[in-house]
Every structure is written in C-alpha cells, then in structure tokens.
Structure 1
C-alpha cells in the first residue's frame, strides 16, 4: 500500500494546473523617457529590515487555499476583494467547515448574485457596471467549476462552464471596445478565440496560452489585461482539453501542441492590424510546456514565455504512482492501481486524481464526471509521458525565450531549469520569482501585476516595442 501521508501530499501536488510567482531584476529600456519628478524612499524604523516571507491563508486545506488565492489575485480585473472574502467566509462558516462542497456552493452563490446584479444594472442602462459584474460573475463561476468533481454533482462541469461562459460573453459584449469572437479552423472543431484590440493600427499581439484547468477569464488577470494596457493586441483561445473543447466536446489534451498554435499564428498573421513579425506566445502553468513544444516547430514567433517552464508533464506526478505505471503489463498495473490507490483514496486524494487525469483521455474525463477515479492508469500514464520535450525539440526552438520559475512551486519541480538548460537559442532568459513581492507559489496567484510587469518589460525589450 502507498504511504498515506506521502500519497496525499504528492497527489494534491500533482494537480499542478494553476499559477504562482517571485522576483528578479529586469533592465529598463534605453530610449528617451518622459520627465518624472524624483521620488524619495522613506527611511525604515530602527531595527526594521526588508519585507519578510509572506504567507496567505484563506482556508486551512492547502488546495482550497491555493485556488482561492487565484480569485483574490484577480481583484481589480475580474474579481473584487470584498466579494472574494465574503465567499471564503461563507464556505468556512458552513456546517463542518470548508469543504469542496461548501466552497463550490459559496462560489456558485457569488456567481449567481453578480449575474443578478449585472442584469439589474443592464436593465437600468448602466452598461459599464453590467460588464464589470458579468466579468466577476464569470470568475466566480470559474472558481466553482474547479471544484465540481469534488462535489455531490461531479457531472455538472458542462453546466457550470456554460454559466461561466455566458457571463464571460455578456461582459465582453458590453466592453468598449468589445473583443472579437472568432473561430480558428482546427480539425473537426474550430478553436474558440477572442481577439482583444490594444488600439488602432498595426500592433504586436500576445497569444495567451492557458494550462490545464484555468479558464478564459483567468487569462486577463494573468497577463492579458497588462498587455492591453501597453498597447498589445491580445488573443485568448480554448485548445484541446480546455474550456468548451473539454467540457462540451470531450476533446482532451494533445502533446503535439504545434498543431494548435500554427493555425492561430496563420489566423493572426492574416489580420491587417497585427504586426506579423511581432507575434508573442505566453504559456501559463502547463501552458509552459505547450508553448515550448509549439515553438520547436513554429518559428514565426517573435518571443516565447514559458511561465513557468516545464520539459515534461510527467514531472508533476509523485514517484509512488509513477512506479505503479512500470509494475508490469496493463492488467497488472491497473489491478495495483485499483487495489492500492482507488480503493483507499481519501476524498482529497480522489478529487486530486480525478481533476488531474480528466484532461488526458476521453475515457478518463467520462469516469471523472461520473465521480470515479479513472481506472486505466496504464494507458493514462503512457499518454502523460508523451507530453515530454526531447533534447532535440528543445534545441529546435529558435525564438527568444523567457523561462520563469517560482519559489515554493510544488508542482513542476526542476521543470523550469530543465527546460532552460535544454534551450540552445542565443536569446534566452531565466527569471525566478519569490516572496518579496508576494510572488511565490505556482504562477504567483496573488502577484500577477508584478509578474506581468517583469514579463512584459522583457517582451518590450526583446521585440523592440514601446506602447
């Protein structure tokens, strides 16, 4: 039998699907700067030093806490601090305390409330208010969507996604300027996309490439909105294993992500308002693997950001269950999996495995939605290992590449350094974010503003752009 404490920690860490951060220096541009009045710092009090390590606790259960930090970090873009804390307090005050069910219920209530308030604002003619409230409703439904598999209604993913997407669509339709909703040709199901304009004329564009469980609304808070402020166009999309592709069509991840990105580059390169020589690809969380894989084959990219870097999705899985995958033929592996993992899994372990594995095969997604841990670990484990960059593929990347890493990122391990070390392109940079700006943890959930500043400063310098 697996060691219970080790398995719990490792399985939960295996969810490595979201975001976190830390800090390094970043040089500024050399062009003429506007006149800025001098700013003086304030001397610290005697005995006071630099900022200490920061910590954030909304829930005592680690996975509940981490995901809720993402909502808190989106405040000012797609969330509001008071609304987030109200939902957290409601979940903590539920009978029995915070649980997947009580957190889900609190976020659904928040999404419903903001939708109702947005409807009222729209009816009264307040379009700006309505748009902002619909966007926050989308974020709160997004938070609920993350926990669906751990509730009494695990099959409700498509329904909750539908509410989130409706709120997202309503918010965008009222925005000024409103983003264009587009369909990018892709095999049997076009890729849904949204083109956000950074202004008139021909401009660079940043493609925001999500990971394994974030949604479109996350892409604004995790870099999209910051890019728009600088005058970049922004393109957000749903690829295989993401959003409607997963929840409505049961189309799961594919390792050869260049088959996803190349059609998007084709589409953007055909637009008159896009500078074809300044197409930037930014991958968030597991998107760090996706963009590196795509860049090994798609060489029209002006810059690539693997945020954080990852050379293999297999890294996100604990050694204990990796060993099971190598225990023998399929029937042996799956029997051990059933006896040692599925039979004794706690609710937290069960949720982590269902959430982590649903993206890799259609059968796993069906089982997870039925409230079951996927049973074919032999097949799934081999599929996961296909999401691995070879030395030759890393060496084939020719675009300038930024690889990020985050202090206390328990998901990707040495993935960022492995990717960076494997790059042979001359223009590459490694940035490790940390506690000083509250940018620790996977993809810096509460420090997206700081992380975005650092990343986009690098992009500005790399492609020679000043908005």
Structure 2
C-alpha cells in the first residue's frame, strides 16, 4: 500500500543500526523541487558536526568534523587496544585525508597499510618475527579501513583486492603468533562459511566456547580484539562470516538474510562436532547488527547457553513505520503496507534518499553499503529487505541468560530505544547495561573504550559460563 498521494510531509527518521542516523523528509505527491528541497535541508542538518560531549565518536570529532569519518576513525584507532593499530600512524594518516572524500580516505589508509606491510616484510626477512607479526596486524587493520567506503560501485575491483590484502596480511600475522588456531570451513546449505577457531590451549580437552560474530559492515578479522580477551579468560573462540558479510558477500556474492537462525544453527552444529568444545557451555556474542542477528539465532537455538546483544536491536520496520506515523502518515498503515510500497521501487523515495546521500557522508555510506550487502538495485529495494529484520514475537523465545548493551551517546540508537525494546521483550534471565560516556564508553559498541567494555561484558559472561578469573 503506497502512502497517501496528498501532499503530506513524511518525516522518516531511520535508526541506522550500524553507522549513522539519517533524517530527511519526503512529500508524497509533491513536486520534485519541493522534494529535493526538504531532502537536502534535512541532510544538511544530519551532517552538522556535533560537540565532543554529544558526538558518538567522542574525541574523534576533534580529528574529523564529519560524523561518519570521526566514527570510523575511532573504530580504527580503537584497535590499538590489542596492538592492531598505532595511534601515531592513525593520526598522521587522518591528517592527510580530505574531509568527507571517500577516495582520499581509501588512498591514504592504503598508503599507510602498504608502508606498514613493507615494514613487516623487511622484519620477517631479517628474522625479527615478533616485529613482523605486530606490523602485519596493524597493516591488516589499515587495509580493512581503506576498503570501507568503496561499496558505491559493487564492481570496483579494489573492493576484493583490498579486502584480500587485509585478510592475507592478517593471516601472515596469525602464522607468527603464539595462539593456536585453525582456519575452518563451516558447512552451510550448498556451500561453506569461513571461520577461525582459536584455542585456549593445546590440551584437546573441552573448553567453553565463545562464538563472536560481526554485523552489517564488518569482517571477522576485526573481531580479533575480542578473541584475544576470550583466550586470556579460558575460552575457545570461534568467529565466522555469514551471508552479507566479509568473504561471503565479496567472493560468494550471498546477500544478507533476516532469518539468521538458518545461519546460527549450522555454526553451532559445527561447534558441537569438535571434541575440544564443551557443548553445554556455548556463548554467542553479536556485535553491532549482530545485536539483532545473534538474538534472532538464539531464539531458535537451544544449545546457546549465554547471549550478548551488543548493542541490542529489536525491529527496523516498526521503527520506520512509527516515525512515519508520528509525522502524519496513515495511522492504519502496517509494516506490510510500507514494505509493499517500498517494493514498488518508488521514485520519490529513491530520489529523496539519493539527494540526502549527496549531502551526508553517513547517509551515502549507509545506503551504498546496504545496496552492496543486500544485493539491492536501489535504496528502496534495500530498505524493503531491511524491514524484515525484526525480533517482534521472536525475542520472547530466547531461553538463555541474555545481556543487552547500549551506549549513552550512541547516535545509532538514540536514547537506547531499540536496546530497551529488546530487553523488555525478553522472558529469560536478563541484564541491561547502559554504558556512560564520561570516559568514552558511550559510543556504538563501546569502540575506543574496550577496557571498560570488556570488563563489564566478559565479567557478566564469565559468571554465566562458570569461569573464574
């Protein structure tokens, strides 16, 4: 059902679950000039720099005034917690980048990655394996960061080339590391999913297993910071990439699916097939959009013993519909009506989105990446598929203890609305943590404050999994 053709302004506030909050207004049935005017006006408001006290990127806003660049910079520099980035290298790279310029972002991070990769190669030739390993971990992070904004053209050869360089460099680092690991292939439908299995020790005896998964825009190599912490605490750790993520979208070209239970169950099947996994102590931790994906899987998977939704995400479509109705849309409109309208690929929707993309870095990246990972030909087609991501009527089926997280300054879930809705819908043992921003932990996924993040989340998990530290 298409929204009314009367010239009512629909203010659509999309809670962008993994990157930025897009606010713009579309007028159904109005003139193209009016449509463009309101879209551009709202897009300009969206990209207005926030103060360091309110920006979800914290002090990173002092490096980039563009909110999306500031957040991705914080995400990159946060890898320094595990030695997989270095502050000076990141700051000097940022100083060379033109604000809001995706090509500049790519070229400067790629330049730094190549330089640090070369340091690693030279160190390895000279027999300095530890120095080489450290350099490779940092270079892998920088290659991954370089590739981040390339998805506007899905045929751009640099997407796969740079991603492959990041994975290759990461694996070169792993090969020099002391931690035991395996590169694994997880049976999934008519193919396999890529994964890494990291071992707490080489005893071969069963250990509690932590499965960590990424979200809308991540690759599993980025999860190595979580892996390191888990290994220290006595967990075996399994990371993987599913449809829409990492290798699976770039090489296998399999897009995201909302029914993530069909992904989690094969992953758990693989886990319990291993003799070094304690099948009664399997935890699942979902990062960013993983805060929807992991709960969705856990609702259908009784073998999950503990769950972390980081941050909690509840219902994309309901949030979009609610914002429409608050601004005058038909109160009787349903999510199904809205989805059906988006599936018609309405020109007014796509035009407004594309105008906003031209004015807002975050809006541009969100929709470019969304079309890339959903294999969608337009913004409307992306959002039609995105609307299926809902835990309504499903979250109550989760039976394991669940930790729902949120960030005080996370602009991706203002006032933690999505996280609180997930928490309130749970019937299991549950806990809610709202991370404060006084010392930088209020950002999305607590990027840049891993010390505070891991202290709280792993302590909760250790208690539930019976691990004593």
Q: Which moved more, 1:302-311 or 1:4-13?
A: 4-13
Give the CA deviation at 1:268: 1.4
* Matching residue of 2:283: 280
Over the residues paired in the alignment, what is the CA RMSD in angstroms? 2.9
Give the CA deviation at 1:62: 0.7
Give the CA deviation at 1:10: 5.8
- Return closer, same or farther for 1:236/1:404 CA change in 2, 3 Å cut-off: same
Among 224, 227, 246, the alignment partner of 1:224 is: 227
Structure 1 Cα separation of the partners of residues 308 and 349 of structure 2: 36
User: Structure 1, unaligned stretches of length 5 or more?
Assistant: 14-19, 22-52, 365-373
Among 79, 86, 92, the alignment partner of 1:74 is: 79
Structure 2 Cα separation of the partners of residues 3 and 155 of structure 1: 32
* Matching residue of 2:28: none
* Matching residue of 2:9: none
Give the CA deviation at 1:404: 0.3
- Return closer, same or farther for 1:79/1:464 CA change in 2, 3 Å cut-off: same
How high is the TM-score relative to the length of structure 1?
0.81
Is 1:90 equivalent to 2:96 in the alignment? yes
* Matching residue of 1:309: 312
* Matching residue of 1:183: 185
Give the CA deviation at 1:463: 1.7
- Return closer, same or farther for 1:438/1:330 CA change in 2, 3 Å cut-off: closer
* Matching residue of 1:398: 399
Is 1:129 equivalent to 2:131 in the alignment? yes
* Matching residue of 1:31: none
Among 354, 362, 368, the alignment partner of 1:342 is: 354
Give the CA deviation at 1:439: 0.4
Matches of residues 214-253 of structure 1 in structure 2 within 5 Å? 214-221=218-225, 223-253=226-256
- Return closer, same or farther for 1:58/1:151 CA change in 2, 3 Å cut-off: farther
Q: For the Cα contact (< 8 Å) 2:407–2:437, is it kept in 1?
A: no
* Matching residue of 1:195: 197
For the residue of structure 1 that corresponds to 2:373, the secondary structure is coil
Q: Deviations over 1:385-407 (max 9, x none)?
A: 1110122x111100100000101
Give the CA deviation at 1:316: 7.5
Q: For the Cα contact (< 8 Å) 1:406–1:434, is it kept in 2?
A: yes
For the residue of structure 2 that corresponds to 1:190, the secondary structure is strand
Structure 1 Cα separation of the partners of residues 462 and 157 of structure 2: 44
For the residue of structure 1 that corresponds to 2:302, the secondary structure is coil
Q: For the Cα contact (< 8 Å) 2:39–2:352, is it kept in 1?
A: no
How high is the TM-score relative to the length of structure 2?
0.81
For the residue of structure 2 that corresponds to 1:211, the secondary structure is coil
For the residue of structure 1 that corresponds to 2:446, the secondary structure is coil
Give the CA deviation at 1:460: 0.9
Q: Deviations over 1:223-277 (max 9, x none)?
A: 2221111121111111111101011121111111111111111111122221111
Q: Deviations over 1:93-136 (max 9, x none)?
A: xxxx5622222211101111111111111111222221221111
Give the CA deviation at 1:192: 0.4
Give the CA deviation at 1:331: 8.2
Among 255, 265, 268, the alignment partner of 1:265 is: 268
* Matching residue of 1:58: 63
- Return closer, same or farther for 1:210/1:12 CA change in 2, 3 Å cut-off: farther
Q: Which moved more, 1:174-183 or 1:346-355?
A: 346-355
- Return closer, same or farther for 1:274/1:108 CA change in 2, 3 Å cut-off: same
Give the CA deviation at 1:3: 3.5
- Return closer, same or farther for 1:132/1:247 CA change in 2, 3 Å cut-off: same
Q: Deviations over 1:415-452 (max 9, x none)?
A: 10000000001x10000001133101211211022101
Structure 2 Cα separation of the partners of residues 220 and 330 of structure 1: 38
Q: Deviations over 1:3-27 (max 9, x none)?
A: 32424566999xxxxxx79xxxxxx
* Matching residue of 2:40: 4
Structure 1 Cα separation of the partners of residues 339 and 182 of structure 2: 50
Q: For the Cα contact (< 8 Å) 1:180–1:196, is it kept in 2?
A: yes
- Return closer, same or farther for 1:328/1:452 CA change in 2, 3 Å cut-off: closer
Q: For the Cα contact (< 8 Å) 2:343–2:384, is it kept in 1?
A: no
* Matching residue of 2:457: 455
- Return closer, same or farther for 1:183/1:328 CA change in 2, 3 Å cut-off: closer
Q: For the Cα contact (< 8 Å) 2:395–2:422, is it kept in 1?
A: yes
* Matching residue of 2:378: 375
Q: For the Cα contact (< 8 Å) 1:149–1:155, is it kept in 2?
A: no
* Matching residue of 2:302: 299
Structure 2 Cα separation of the partners of residues 300 and 125 of structure 1: 45
Structure 2 Cα separation of the partners of residues 465 and 225 of structure 1: 16
Higher relative contact order structure (alpha carbons within 8 Å, sequence separation ≥ 6): 1
- Return closer, same or farther for 1:267/1:327 CA change in 2, 3 Å cut-off: closer
Q: Deviations over 1:324-374 (max 9, x none)?
A: 9839756865221344333574163433321233222x2x2xxxxxxxxx4
* Matching residue of 2:466: 464
Q: For the Cα contact (< 8 Å) 2:47–2:67, is it kept in 1?
A: no
- Return closer, same or farther for 1:263/1:12 CA change in 2, 3 Å cut-off: farther
User: Structure 2, unaligned stretches of length 5 or more?
Assistant: 1-34, 50-55, 330-334
Q: For the Cα contact (< 8 Å) 2:40–2:355, is it kept in 1?
A: no
